[in-house]
A and B are shown apart, each in its own frame.
Chain A
């Protein structure tokens, strides 16, 4: 971790207008939960559906895409990354610092609102709120690592990331059971299922991957992506022209 790299990353990530998007996305399920709560009162089933499909399935990948690619993509695009690269800092350290900032944004701006969403609709019953909040946090960190790596590998990281998040995660991962083994969403859900515990099945919190596989996969992808991104950052081409 390099505090100055993290500080510069945070400035460019939360500066400009990106912060508004990062605030707005998790606000959608939060507002919906308030409306449902006022209209029909607490409801565990609705809570699960909302956090499952909207938060974990849609909002989280988009949030992580903005946070992950936003933590390094703009610097690569406009060339200001040279100010980091022309320094005696290990490239992996740059990547870890950027992952730390993106992860912090996931925890504070996505996981915490998810917890509140769960509390509003389901209270503390069955640890549904906690389960999804932790799922969002661990899934979000892994997504961020993936999208950070994508941003180092290609200038079209946002497009590739969108295709992955929307097509693979929500379509293929939802319908084809074999593909679920390669879905960050399912890995995160396995953690949620484990936290919710005994009543998970009854509530419909069912991951397509067992916890014993999900946790190593989350770790391998998060650590592996960041390590690989650091390697590629050593050789990244900083061009003068667009």
Chain B
């Protein structure tokens, strides 16, 4: 059982702060590192894996610093995001080479066990260059597991996987976590993290935005105010009805560019709605429109990008 501890860790590159004062503890079990692209997840994983020096703060594994400490890799298995391996080798040769690099007493049986764990025994005698994305991912997993490490770090392991491969990897990681390993994987997709991680750490713009189990994070995300852009046959009437109904805290009518002639929809205005009670608003809107005989042309959530969802958590 191993625990990774980040204490006040920052990392900057020139003027760019990639990781900003992060303190977190990664305990045994599966932890998801969630955040949009560019949030600093990879930098954080590199810091945890000892590939980057923290500009300030410390990263320790069971009390030992990971930076400039090569023997720490007896305890860490790393699955990098990048695809590159040594082409011109078979999967088996590559995993075996990794076992030898670890200086294991019996590299052959360690490699065989790792290849079996990721269910690659059959294709392992083929050249890595011929592998599909999912196969490459599994061989990468095997190289990380070959020395049976208590800590497993995976950088965007689900990227580019098809649903079946995804399920296999989820099963595998779940098993690893259940057996007492400390498993950390990064992802920018909420659903992946939801399915797998017992505990979630959210990163946004280099900062540690939230942590907790999935329910807590989901709650934070749905409770935030939502914005919608609505176009209808009578925006003014709809606006007053929405405000009267109570699910929204504000509406704003905006005259669209080229107003009056473009679409013949009866109105070329745009209605911006700030929904205070998300679920109430989405249920009320179609009912209101039907009652007032207003046609809805477009209902667009204005800020559903992951970036804005996460930003809310930071600004909260």
Contacts and interface: CB of A to CB of B under 8 A. Distances in A.
Contacts of B103: 88-89
Interface in B73-87: 73-74, 76-78, 80-82, 84-87
Contacts of A237: 51-52
A82 B78 contact: yes
A88 B73 contact: yes
A15 interface: yes
A50 B294 CA distance: 92
Contacts of B98: 83, 87
B232 to A, nearest CB: 44
Contacts of B155: 240
B71 interface: yes
Interface stretch (A5-13, A111-119, A124-132, A147-155): A5-13
A8 B84 CA distance: 14
Given A83-B143, A85-B51, A237-B52, A12 B86 contact: yes
Contacts of B52: 237
Interface string A67-90: 000000000001110111111111
Given A2-B101, A4-B101, A89-B70, A240 B86 contact: no
Nearest to B71: A88
B89 A11 contact: yes
Contacts of B71: 88
Interface in A22-60: none
B51 A238 contact: yes
B246 interface: no
A3 to B, nearest CB: 8
Given A88-B102, A89-B70, A82 B97 contact: no
B46 interface: yes
B97 to A, nearest CB: 5
B220 interface: no
A199 interface: no
A240 B81 contact: yes
Given A7-B97, A89-B70, A83 B53 contact: no
A16 B287 CA distance: 66
Interface residues of B, number: 32
Interface in A143-191: none
Nearest to A2: B101
B90 to A, nearest CB: 12
A16 B49 CA distance: 30
B2 interface: no
B66 to A, nearest CB: 11
Nearest to B155: A240
Nearest to A85: B51
Interface string B52-77: 11000000000000001011111011
B301 interface: no
Contacts of B72: 88
B260 to A, nearest CB: 47
A234 B143 contact: no
A88 B42 contact: no
A85 B98 CA distance: 11
A98 interface: no
Contacts of B74: 88
A91 B101 CA distance: 12
B88 interface: yes
Interface in B4-58: 42, 46, 49, 51-53
The 8 closest A-B pairs by CB, nearest first: A78-B84, A79-B82, A4-B100, A87-B101, A80-B84, A15-B88, A86-B78, A88-B71
30 contacts: A2-B101, A3-B100, A4-B97, A4-B101, A8-B86, A8-B97, A11-B86, A11-B88, A11-B89, A12-B86, A12-B88, A15-B87, A15-B88, A78-B84, A79-B84, A80-B86, A82-B80, A83-B101, A84-B101, A86-B78, A87-B101, A87-B102, A88-B73, A88-B103, A89-B101, A91-B70, A234-B68, A238-B51, A238-B80, A240-B81
